[in-house]
């Protein structure tokens, strides 16, 4: 665009109505299309000269020039963001080139249209993808493997923006395969995009693998750009940090800082300072972290609000975790002011990770409120973060927000919600952890270190040759600059005048691109503390379980000691009545001991299954009353009933007393049967029967004032139950009670028959 509009108009007026005039009209149309600025008059002039050229092309029957005019009008429509109209015009031009056999030009036509649409323009991402797909098909049909692989990568990028992560992943794997077959050095471009896709689909471990491969392949490219190196190392550092490899993350952040400082990438530089500070905090090197910030924070003195927020976030994190809450508190006001400005600008920010990054940068503020137990401020800060859009949040940020909610619910006593959030956190932790990916990460890291070592050795061997070549090149450049300085100055001024606006737009786009790619990986801080709390909780629960077992074990042992003392005393008794009383006491103690034995031998439970208890109790009584039981049959019909120890002890004593009385008094020498039945209704009410087919309550042993009967009635009352005795083809004792909360019962789940012949 070296010629001005005046020169082009004079050239137009000097032409005849032929192809030369069409060319002149096209030059004028392109001049106004490429002219810096968005003046309506320039757009109108573009359309005017394009229409004139199209009309003359039709008159002269020159379709090639006609579709050149269509292409200019398509670019004009795309510049005005009328993508629907632009799609039709680009499609018309591409179809013409395809029909004339020029598939390459048709492919570049669709590529041009796709590049007009910014990758952050989500509403038009589908149109962008369609353009790239058309271009990809044409390049493939033309046998242009490099270009078709490049276009498939652009298709994958569009699919990623649309949220088609699985499809984008498969497309990028195909791109990588083709690049490797072509021995294309910049295959790391596809690996970088693959890492982005994996991260957005929350495949954190696999994303780290792709980050390692990206940095590895970039280091092997001698033509790699420092800007790209800063981006790749920043992303790799964030991936290591998210994988809890803080020392590796710290080393990579320092390397990224060197690249960023070299090319003047301020945002990356301060993001790396914050990332390194977080690594120091995780490594519990708080003082070193603060010294690190003080050393490097003034490298670029003109801090933006965004830079201030990053630095303040890092300092508050280190002060808070080191316990210096006073120093952290002095920074809170400044941080909140900077944070508000960044928060207010979020709606205008189209960067994909803007929500994740803002939540991550705000994490030290909430951590400070937690340490200070300022729960009102903590809740207000959480609500502000929770109000941000949820779409596009990573699994790491979701886990962090769940941890905030878990903390608030725990403080407020809403343990049901806290448990629900805790389970969600556990599920997310399981989805993030991947042992197979971890092994692959270690293999890639070893490969990366080996390649880095080989590269260093090669650089040392070639250092002399490089220095010599550099000196010769500088000498040649010096003489060349002297000879052509005047010409270069003229050309530079003309180029600056012609492209100043386009350069400014490109710089703005580059800055936005850098900002988008910079705010990626600072996501998982509070979750580490939560993991510690979870571990402590599990340890406390385990200690509680062992302590309960120890208590029950000691109670059982103490009861055995009491029984041993009673056995010793009974050997000195001469009275049969006293011996019987002593035996009754021993039986009652043993019935309680069985319960405690059950409690300490069962793992993780604090309840008694009634059927198991009855079986053990009868087994014990069979050993005590062996002669009496030779002709007595004892049968059990017990539902699957689980009792709390507070109920199990009284019920056991009642059963012991009832069965013992039946064995001793119900039968004569001919023997009989004792039936123990326990059934449960749907409402949790238990009905327990101990019945025999013996003499019944008519004998003198069953007088109402008998101490055993009074004891059973009192024990039934103790568990809020009823006690009843009657004759029904023998003696029947029945108690009814409700199962207390915490126990459970299933009707008809157990039926055990225990005969003693």
- What SS3 class is residue 60? coil
What's the average model confidence in pLDDT over 236-243? 88
Higher pLDDT, 544 or 749: 544
Higher pLDDT, 572 or 443: 572
Any domain includes 695: yes
Domain boundary among 458, 493, 524: 524
Q: How many C-beta atoms lie closer than 10 Å to residue 593's C-beta?
A: 22
Q: Are residues 622 and 517 in the same domain?
A: no
Work out the pLDDT band at 466, boundaries 50, 70, 90. Answer: low
CATH code, domain with 343: 1.25.40
Range of the domain at 748: 607-757
How many domains in the chain?
2
Q: Are residues 627 and 486 in the same domain?
A: no
With beta carbons less than 8 A apart as the criterion, state whether 10 and 27 touch: no
pLDDT digits (tens, 9 = 90+) for 5-54: 788 888 888 888 888 988 888 888 888 888 887 677 788 888 888 898 88
Q: Are residues 648 and 520 in the same domain?
A: no
Query: What pLDDT shows up at residue 754?
Result: 36
Q: Are residues 359 and 497 in the same domain?
A: yes
Q: Are residues 462 and 329 in the same domain?
A: yes
Any domain includes 648: yes
Query: What pLDDT shows up at residue 1?
Result: 42
Any domain includes 325: yes
Any domain includes 309: yes
Q: How many C-beta atoms lie closer than 10 Å to residue 512's C-beta?
A: 15
Share of the chain above pLDDT 70, in %: 80
Query: What pLDDT shows up at residue 459?
Result: 46
For residue 98, pLDDT over 60 is answered with yes
Query: What pLDDT shows up at residue 300?
Result: 84
| Cα–Cα separations (whole angstroms), residue 24 to 14, 72, 404, 494 | 10, 14, 67, 22
For residue 735, pLDDT over 90 is answered with yes
Any domain includes 719: yes
Any domain includes 671: yes
Domain boundary among 524, 540, 562: 524
| Cα–Cα separations (whole angstroms), residue 607 to 165, 257, 373, 595, 638 | 50, 61, 38, 9, 16
Any domain includes 83: no
pLDDT digits (tens, 9 = 90+) for 573-619: 767 777 677 767 777 676 677 766 665 566 555 688 888 888 888 88
Work out the pLDDT band at 737, boundaries 50, 70, 90. Answer: very high
Any domain includes 563: no
CATH code, domain with 748: 3.30.565.10
Using N-to-C axis directions, what is the helix angle for 40-59 and 19-34, rounded to 10°? 160
Query: What pLDDT shows up at residue 700?
Result: 43
For residue 532, pLDDT over 80 is answered with no
What's the average model confidence in pLDDT over 337-346? 85
Query: What pLDDT shows up at residue 453?
Result: 45
The residue with tokens 């990054």 is: 357
Assessment of whether the complete model's pTM goes beyond 0.75: no
With beta carbons less than 8 A apart as the criterion, state whether 363 and 526 touch: yes
From CA 692, how far away is CA 502, in angstroms rounded? 104
Q: Are residues 519 and 618 in the same domain?
A: no
Q: What is the mean pLDDT of the chain?
A: 80
Q: Are residues 370 and 496 in the same domain?
A: yes
Q: Are residues 456 and 329 in the same domain?
A: yes
pLDDT digits (tens, 9 = 90+) for 219-236: 888 888 888 988 999 999
Spell out the residues 6+ positions from residue 342 whose beta carbon is closer than 8 angstroms to its own: 305, 306, 309, 358, 361
Q: Are residues 515 and 644 in the same domain?
A: no
- Among the residue ranges 127-136, 374-383, 425-434, 655-664, the one predicted with the least confidence is 425-434
Domain boundary among 524, 548, 581: 524
- What SS3 class is residue 702? helix
Query: What pLDDT shows up at residue 604?
Result: 53
């Amino acid at each position: 665009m070296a010629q001005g509009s005046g020169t082009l108009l004079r050239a137009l007026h000097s032409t005849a109505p032929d192809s030369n005039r069409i060319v002149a009209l096209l030059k004028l149309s392109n001049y106004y299309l490429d002219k810096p600025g968005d003046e309506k008059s320039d757009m109108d002039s573009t359309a005017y000269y394009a229409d004139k050229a199209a009309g003359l092309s039709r008159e002269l029957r020159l379709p090639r020039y006609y579709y050149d005019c269509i292409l200019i009008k398509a670019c004009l429509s795309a510049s005005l963001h009328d993508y629907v109209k632009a799609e039709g015009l680009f499609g018309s031009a591409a179809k013409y080139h395809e029909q004339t056999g020029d598939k390459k030009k048709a492919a570049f036509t669709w590529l041009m249209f796709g590049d007009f649409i910014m990758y952050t323009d989500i509403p038009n991402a589908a149109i962008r993808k369609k353009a790239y797909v058309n271009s990809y098909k044409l390049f493939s049909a033309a046998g242009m493997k490099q270009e078709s692989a490049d276009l498939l990568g652009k298709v994958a990028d569009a699919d990623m923006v649309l949220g088609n992560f699985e499809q984008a992943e498969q497309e990028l794997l195909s791109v990588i395969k083709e690049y490797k077959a072509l021995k294309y050095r910049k295959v790391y471009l596809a690996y970088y995009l693959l890492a982005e896709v994996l991260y957005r689909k929350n495949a954190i471990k696999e994303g780290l693998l792709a980050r390692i491969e990206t940095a590895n392949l970039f280091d092997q490219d001698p033509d790699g750009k420092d800007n790209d190196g800063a981006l790749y190392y920043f992303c790799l550092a964030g991936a290591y940090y998210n994988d809890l490899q803080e020392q590796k993350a710290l080393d990579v952040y320092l390397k990224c800082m060197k690249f960023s400082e070299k090319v003047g990438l301020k945002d990356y530089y301060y993001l790396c300072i914050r990332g390194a500070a977080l690594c120091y905090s995780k490594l519990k090197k708080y003082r070193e972290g603060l010294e690190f910030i003080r050393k490097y924070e003034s490298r670029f003195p003109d801090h933006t609000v965004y830079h201030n927020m990053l630095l303040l976030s890092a300092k508050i994190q280190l002060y808070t975790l080191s316990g210096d809450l006073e120093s952290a508190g002095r920074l809170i006001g400044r941080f909140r002011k900077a944070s508000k400005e960044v928060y207010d600008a979020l709606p205008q920010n189209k960067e994909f990770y803007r929500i994740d990054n803002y939540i991550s940068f705000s994490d030290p503020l909430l951590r400070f409120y937690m340490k200070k137990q300022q729960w009102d401020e903590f809740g207000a800060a959480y609500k502000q973060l929770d109000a941000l859009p949820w779409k596009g949040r990573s699994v790491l940020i979701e886990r962090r927000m769940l941890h905030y909610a878990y903390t608030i619910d725990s403080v407020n006593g809403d343990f049901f919600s806290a448990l629900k959030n805790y389970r969600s956190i556990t599920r997310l932790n399981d989805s993030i952890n991947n042992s197979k990916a971890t092994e692959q990460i270690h293999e890639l890291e070893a490969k990366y270190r080996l390649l880095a070592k080989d590269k260093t050795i090669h650089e040392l061997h070639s250092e002399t040759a490089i220095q010599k070549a550099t000196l010769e090149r500088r000498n040649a450049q010096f003489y060349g600059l002297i000879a052509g300085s005047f010409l270069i100055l003229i050309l530079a001024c003309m180029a600056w005048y012609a492209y100043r606006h386009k350069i400014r737009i490109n710089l703005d786009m580059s800055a936005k691109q850098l900002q988008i790619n910079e705010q990626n990986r600072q996501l998982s801080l509070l979750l580490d503390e939560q993991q510690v709390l979870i571990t402590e909780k599990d340890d406390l629960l385990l200690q509680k379980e062992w302590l309960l077992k120890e208590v029950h074990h000691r109670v059982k042992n103490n009861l055995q000691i009491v029984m041993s003392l009673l056995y010793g005393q009974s050997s000195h008794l001469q009275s049969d009545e006293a011996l019987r009383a002593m035996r009754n006491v021993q039986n009652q103690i043993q019935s309680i001991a069985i319960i405690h034995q059950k409690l300490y031998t069962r793992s993780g439970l604090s309840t008694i299954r009634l059927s198991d208890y009855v079986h053990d109790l009868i087994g014990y009584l069979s050993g005590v009353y062996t002669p009496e039981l030779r002709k007595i049959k004892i049968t059990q019909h017990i539902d699957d009933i689980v009792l709390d120890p507070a109920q199990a002890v009284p019920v056991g004593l009642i059963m012991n007393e009832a069965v013992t009385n039946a064995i001793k008094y119900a039968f004569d020498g001919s023997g009989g049967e004792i039936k123990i039945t326990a059934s449960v209704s749907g409402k949790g009410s238990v009905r327990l029967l101990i019945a025999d087919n013996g003499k019944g309550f008519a004998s003198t042993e069953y007088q109402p004032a008998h101490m055993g009967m009074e004891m059973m009635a009192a024990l039934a009352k103790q568990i809020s139950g009823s006690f009843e005795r009657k004759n029904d083809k023998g003696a029947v004792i029945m108690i009814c009670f409700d199962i207390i909360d915490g126990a459970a019962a299933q009707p008809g789940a157990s039926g055990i028959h225990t005969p003693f012949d």
